[in-house]
Amino acid sequence: MPLLHISMRAGKPEAYRQAIFDGLYRAMRETFDVPEDDQFMAITEHEPGNFRYNASYLGVARSDDLVFIQITANNTRTVEQKKALYRRIAELLGDNPGIRPEDVFVSLVEVAKENWSLGNGIAQYADR
């Protein structure tokens, strides 16, 4: 049950933001064994003065279309699955809404299964 927080500069139309949601969900379904309807994502938009990045860190040429994607997920995936996820996200967001691969920044935060409560004050994954 990944939880995604997407941060980007303000000003993109709703269709652009929805394409990001759709591409991320598809990438997770294809590479991360995410169940159908497991969609928990939020986009936060920032004014230019509240969104900072280095335009060339590690030799990657970023633009103002940079999107930060932080994924919190159970620590159950292999390195190969993680690499496939990053690659597929960049491909799908490149196709629609047209984000350059250089502007797709992904951070994966892994947690133990007992660190989730999906509602009702219950740790649903703790005993699985």
Task: Indicate the SS3 state at residue 6.
Answer: strand
Which of 2, 48, 97, 101 is catalytic? The answer is 2
Nearest-angstrom CA–CA distance, 95 and 111: 30
Is 48 one of the annotated active-site residues of the chain? no
Give the span between the Cα atoms of 87 and 35, in whole angstroms: 20
Task: List, by residue number, the catalytic residues.
Answer: 2
